[in-house]
Structure 1
Amino acid sequence: MKNEQGEVTHYFSTFSDISERVAAEERIRQLAFYDTLTGLPNRATIYSLLEQALAEARRNKQSGALMFIDLDRFKYVNDTLGHGAGDELIRHVATRFKTCLRASDVIARLGGDEFVIALIDITKADDAAIVAEKILAIFSSPFMIDGHEISISASIGISVYPTDGMAVEDLVKYADIAMYRAKDQGRSSFLFYSNDMNVRSLEKLEMESSLRRALDLGELLLHYQPQADIHTGAIVGAEVLLRWQHPGLGMVSPGQFIPLAEDTGLIVPIGQWVMEQAVAQNRSWQQSGVPVVKLAVNLSAQQFRLPLVEEISAVLARHGLAHKYLELEITESMVMSNVERVIGMLDDLAVLGVPMALDDFGTGYSSLSYLKRFPIDKLKVDQSFVRGIPHDADDVVITRAIIALGKSLGLKVIAEGVETREQLEFLRKEGCDEIQGYLFSHPVPAEDFLKLLVGGIRFEV
């Protein structure tokens, strides 16, 4: 401010507190570049960090390794305990990961249950293996989450710079491929990437693409394996089994494409197609005067996420098939993935009059406290037990116990995988009701099964 002579006599100043703005900008930066659950760099940040690390490795002529980590059975935790517990588990896992790493190493969470770790300046691939073993070891003790003791594991894929690639995108892709191979081989393990993995990964991708088209192109078909009364040999039903007639590969093994359908979610539309076709086929046979039998259809765990009860009821109504001629085969593990919800749906199906069989009994949870709650009509003895009869003492004891348990609960018992007369005689003596297996018939196309029904074939028992 100036006086009358134009001289400056005073100054005015203004100021504002920008600390809130700075804090807000920092918060925005944190949200943009770091995972809110763990505080680790996120997917948007990790690639720039990896580029910097690779540039430094090139300058210093160093080697490095990239790990792609996926938690095993994490989805089960989310489904059973809720997403809050899942989030807390992720935080605990991230904390344990840090105990295995050096200050120079980089770790990020890509999202869900996936993490990436970059090991900077390693002298040999074995160094990465040592770190991978340390990471697997941190899962040896359970996590305490909301009063629950949770035991999980991890699968790890490893790619090495510069051996496997020079670009970040390639190293991440190769580590991801190796991780899935580790998961396929039993989980709780690590594998280094190799070129043949990429070939198999491409083959899997091509098979997935072909499977997506298979429904529309009419390449999927149903075979039927007869189920017979153990005393009379009369056919009382059949298990409906899916087959894929690929134009180039021929008959693709269910062991190849069913797991792929499960992994990709294709099992849902395929399962719906199987249900529709089986019900329509059975009704068609009945209308043509063929002896009436029950057809057993396997359900996938993923189908329980749909309005399954309404869907099955609609299919039966659409084709006019009585509910008692459709049997649903479920597994223990399927029910245990979400006990209360699945049992509720099974109860609704039972009210409708749809019979149910518990498949693969004895190979999964085998919890008797849950078994008595399942509204099932039949126990199915898994072929892995039948196969060892009568020479394997353990299989004999287990099969005998399953049959006795089923009878005590008032359930029918069927044994699958029956291939010898000795197995047949043992099962009959122990009180088994029905049998299924190569001793009587392989799974056969609809026209061949129809001939068995029309001819009134009775298997020799």
Structure 2
Amino acid sequence: MLVIVRFSLYTQSSVRAYVTGESEWSKGQKDAVFYLNRYVESKSAFDYDLYTYAIAVPLGDHLARISLNQSPPDTEAAKTGFLQGKNHPEDIGGLIKLYVHLHDTLLMREPVELWKKGDVIILKIQKLAEALKQTVDSTPQNTKAIKLLIDEINRLNIELTPIEEDFSNALGEISRQINTWFYVMSLIFTAILVAIGVTLSRRMVQFNLMATEKIKNSELRFKALLGSSMDAVIEINAESEISHWSAQAEQIFGYLEYEAIGEKLHLLIIPAEHIEAHLMGMRRFLKTGDGPVLNKRIEVTAKRKSKEEFPAELVVSAYALNGKHMFCAYIRDITEQKKYAEKLRTIAHFDSVTGLPNRLLFQDCLDGQIKLCDQSNLPLSVMFIDIDNFKDINDTLGHQTGDYLLKEVSKRMLGCLRKADFLARFGGDEFVLIVNQFNADDDVDDVAERLIEALKVPFQIQNEMVYVTISIGISSYPTDSHSYHELVKNADQAMYMVKKSGRNGYAHFNTAMEESVVLKRQLTSDIRLALQDNQFEIYYQPIVDLQTSQILKCEALLRWNHPSKGMIQPGVFIGIAEDTGLIVEIGDMVFQRALAAVLGWRKTVHPDFQVSINVSPVQLHQAGGNNWCYKLKNALSLTDALVIEITEGVLVNANEVVSKALLEYRDAGIQVALDDFGTGYSSLSYLTKFDIDYIKIDKSFLVDLSEASENYALCEAMIVMAHKLGLAVVAEGVETPEQLALLKQIGCDYAQGYLFARPIPELDVESFLIQFNTRKLEVVNT
């Protein structure tokens, strides 16, 4: 009997998991279509990103089904797909077992066929969405083609609705068949017991005692199974009176079992504003048998004994007991999941150091303000603000002081602005400001002068008086440009003219600034000469395995040893190299030299040694990765010798060429690392879509790192998330033993920073690695 009970419960739980999974599938599909419709209206890349995030849910379930249909079933890929489909990790084992063992049986045949039909339509929607994006992004736009595409998507959306309903109904029928089977088996088992009792009447008393003990044990085990669930399990009758209250319900709601049994459910745990809807739903079901929320996972607001309200996930099933309607509710507290989602939203849209909006949110705001200006005929200006000589402050006082100064500068600038103005951190020591709702340039100049004047007052930092000046470039809409990118570019160019003029001032963009193009052309010529004369040098910064304290990885860092200007950092020339396409030739040079170096170190240091190379978006757009894959395969098939590092922006702006290049890296076995993770674009769907192997936590998250700090919580959240997705984590910018200890404590895999070593010239790398790995060289902050 216990086996039957356990099998029935396990099967019911797995069917319930499919029901809840179908709810997430349906929600993801509906959200995807919604965001595509909104994308057609807004043309916003953000709406398309939301679509991509939503469509990842049904695509994840599709991946799971395809993986389980293989022979043998690929359970690891199926787990990944179910996780992407937002199925709860604890439900995935049951989902896989139920599918593997029963998918080709009469019991599961109908829902599986419906699932396949739904997948076919989802894949059609995905292809149409890609075509839609290409059409929207094209110039000029083909509005007729856009309408045809979105109409077809909406038609497919309508076509999916009956399939989803049939799928839910089929699962409900399976649940009822299992209940019936359990009921029949119980009757058979009881009949056998009665027959044995009649036959063995002399042993009836002893048998009854044994049977009673078995039933008691079964009930205890049944309660234990319910008690071990993460969900509160609550049973009520048609009058909403509680008849069962699990141990987890006690923990979640605060009522003990004796306090809850016999009470009205809605008076205990449902907030007052939702009671009427609950009662109406019950009356509707009792009258018509229609229950729209039955066997579906929905999000509700619940109430504890303390009157505290909290978010919860609810799944309700209905059944008959002794001819009466009964309802069983599975309720899960999702407070922590909500907090985690909010943290990820903050990481995606706000700067972790200053708390200001980041570049992504700034772009969305500026695009919106441009549309408002078109309606009001009032101009707006964009200020590009750069802190003068901020690098010197970082170098002399340290990065922690530098970050503290950024916070204080942000606060002081905010105090000079109007409510209508919008300040964001663009990156590093750069800020951008939208000044709108003004009538003359003088108003804009007043804002710039107030900012410069406010920052003349020195900052008191750790007994140091720090003096700060800023350089401001201003471009206006619509006089200077007509788009986000042009406004920011022109303001940036004007700011650089202020820098060249002595800093601590402001300037409006004008055509005379085209002189900067001449300078860019000169630097471009110098880069070409540098490639010919072998002026570029590669330094390597070690990456330490925190489990073994060994160095089996290095990051290749490019330096330019200019014959007259000395050592030039990549930030000075990489942008120009990207604009001119020279970055492809530079990247090939770095690839060849890094490959030669790592092959040597695999012989002298360790056979599994790896070197990571930073890859520019331009290189991926020009499909430079294909040649690299070929060369790595020919180098004794050592495709794991190099790791490709890209930024989050590459994934967000990935077109077909970039996506193909990244997928070719994956197929060739070349690992990919996501650099500066958390600094602007975090989007979880990209991590699984492009099969990322590592994330590199940006050094800004290590500032003021302590167990009580927000950065500690964010680092821990990112590490947990990465490990859940099967990714390794590298922490950049580790400078202190305290940071190292905390990173080990929260499970970080690798660390990189000045605590271990600054970037090392290629000729010195081998001796350093051998000394470090044999412990002849201690960890020092040099």
2:478 pairs with one of 116, 131, 135:
135
Quick check: 1:291 aligned with 2:623?
Answer: no
Q: Which structure 2 residue ranges, 5 or more long, are not aligned?
A: 1-131, 144-366, 380-439, 447-473, 499-505
Partner of 2:36: none
Structure-1 residue corresponding to 2:666: 350
Q: CA deviation at 1:298?
A: 0.8
Aligned length: 326
Amino acid at match of 1:416: E
Distance in 2 (alpha carbons) for counterparts of 1:98 and 1:264 = 39
Cα gap change, 1:436 to 1:87, in 2 (>3 Å)? farther
* Partner amino acid, structure 2, of 1:291: H
Q: Does 1:435 align with 2:767?
A: no
The answer to whether the aligner puts 1:258 opposite 2:601 as a matched pair is no
TM-aligned CA deviation for residue 300 of structure 1: 0.6
Q: Is the 8 A contact 1:227 1:237 kept in 2?
A: yes
SS of residue in 1 equivalent to 2:679: coil
Question: CA separation of 1:202/1:134 partners in 2, compared to 1, >3 Å: closer, same or farther?
Answer: closer
1:370 aligned onto 2:697: no
- Compared CA separation, residues 428 and 339, structure 1 to 2 (3 A): farther
- How far apart are the structure 2 equivalents of 1:389 and 1:198? 44
User: Could you say if the C-alpha distance between residues 202 and 413 of structure 1 is closer, same or farther in structure 2, counting changes exceeding 3 Å?
Assistant: same
Give the drift of 1:345: 2.8
Residues 296, 328 of structure 1: 8 Å contact kept: yes
Establish whether residue 235 from structure 1 lines up as the match of residue 551 from structure 2: yes
Structure 1 residues 25-68: Cα deviation after superposition (integer angstroms, max 9, x where no partner): xxxxxxxxxxxxxxxxxxxxxxxxxxxxxxxxxxxxxxxxxxxx
The 5-angstrom pairing of residues 21-420 of structure 1 reads 81-84=136-139, 96=374, 133=476, 135=478, 152=484, 154-155=486-487, 178=494, 191-193=508-510, 202-287=518-603, 289-292=604-607, 293-320=609-636, 322-338=638-654, 341-390=657-706, 393-420=709-736
The CA distance in 2 between the partners of 1:176 and 1:242, in whole Å, is 25
Superposed displacement of residue 308, structure 1: 3.2
Instruction: State the alpha-carbon separation in 1 of the partners of residues 597 and 635 from structure 2.
Output: 9
CA gap of 1:348–1:133, structure 2 versus 1, over 3 A, is closer
Deviates more, 1:342-351 or 1:409-418: 342-351
Partner residue in 2 for 1:449: 765
Q: Which moved more, 1:242-251 or 1:199-208?
A: 199-208
- CA 1:222 to 1:135, structure 2 compared with 1: closer, same or farther past 3 Å? same
Per-residue deviation, 1:176: 12
Deviation, structure 1 residue 375: 0.7
Give the whole-Å Cα distance in 1 for the aligned partners of 2:757 and 2:489.
Answer: 43
Aligned mates of 1:136, 1:430 — CA distance in 2: 52
Q: Report the alpha carbon displacement of residue 410 of structure 1 after superposing the two structures with TM.
A: 1.6
Change (3 A) 1:135 1:379: same
Which letter does structure 2 place at the counterpart of 1:135? P
Aligned position for 2:11: none
Asked if structure 1 preserves the Cα contact closer than 8 Å seen for 2:695 and 2:727, the reply is yes
How far off its partner does 1:460 sit?
A: 5.0
Larger Cα Rg: Structure 1 or Structure 2? 2
SS of corresponding position for 2:139: helix
Distance apart, 1:304 and its partner CA = 1.2
Aligned partners of 2:496 and 2:137: how far apart in 1?
Answer: 25
Q: CA deviation at 1:447?
A: 1.3
Structure 1's 81 and 244: CA in aligned 2 closer, same or farther, altered over 3 A?
Answer: farther
Q: What CA deviation, in whole Å up to 9, does each residue of 1:101-131 have, x standing for no partner? A: 9xxxxxxxxxxxxxxxxxxxxxx98599899
* Contact 2:477-2:487 within 8 A present in 1 as well: no
Letter in structure 1 aligned against 2:722: G
1:204-242 residue CA offsets vs partner (Å, 9 max, x unmatched): 433222112111101001110001111332102000110
Given residue 240 of structure 1, which amino acid in structure 2 is its aligned partner? Answer: A
C-alpha displacement at 1:365, in angstroms? 1.5
Which whole-Å CA distance do the structure 2 matches of 1:391 and 1:179 have between them? 40
More strand by share: 1
Work out whether residues 299 and 330 of structure 1, in 8 Å CA contact, stay in contact via their aligned partners in 2.
yes
TM-score when normalising by structure 1: 0.61
Question: Cα distance, 1:323 vs. partner?
Answer: 0.6
Q: Which residue of 1 aligns with 2:244?
A: none
For residues 181 and 394 of structure 1, the distance between their equivalents in structure 2, rounded to whole angstroms, comes to: 38
| C-alpha distance in structure 1 between counterparts of 2:489 and 2:592, whole Å | 40
C-alpha displacement of 1:451: 0.8
Identity %: 36
State whether residues 705 and 711 of structure 2, in contact with CA within 8 Å, keep that contact through their aligned partners in structure 1: yes
Aligned-pair Cα RMSD in Å: 4.1
CA distance, structure 1, for counterparts of residue 720 and residue 585 of structure 2? 38
> Distance in 1 between the 2:688 and 2:605 partners?
36
* Matched residue type, 1:355: Q
Deviation at 1:393, TM superposition (A): 2.6
Q: 1 CA distance for matches of 2:713 and 2:508?
A: 39
Which deviates the most, 130-139 or 368-377?
Answer: 130-139
TM-score, normalising length from structure 2?
0.37
